Amino acid sequence: MFKIDNELKNANVTRSIRFTEKLFEELATIAQNNGVSFNNLVLQCCKYALDNMEKPESPTKK
């Protein structure tokens, strides 16, 4: 389950990313409603996605 917290508040690598307007508005609203920064929410979403991503099966050895 995705839980919003301040775990990643000390991020220090700067990058630019483009969002669709609709996705940006949804994320901004969620961040505001949960008292976290937009940046913090995006970091948490990325971490959650990586932690829950299906791992590809390793090739079998012959």
Q: In 3D, which of 8, 45, 7, 4 has the Cα closest to residue 23?
A: 45
So where are the chain's domains? 21-51
Q: What is the pLDDT of residue 62?
A: 58
pTM of the model: 0.75
* pLDDT value at 60 more than 80: no
Decide if 27 contacts 42 (C-beta within 8 A).
yes
Dump pLDDT digits (tens) for 12-43: 889 999 999 999 999 999 999 999 999 999 99
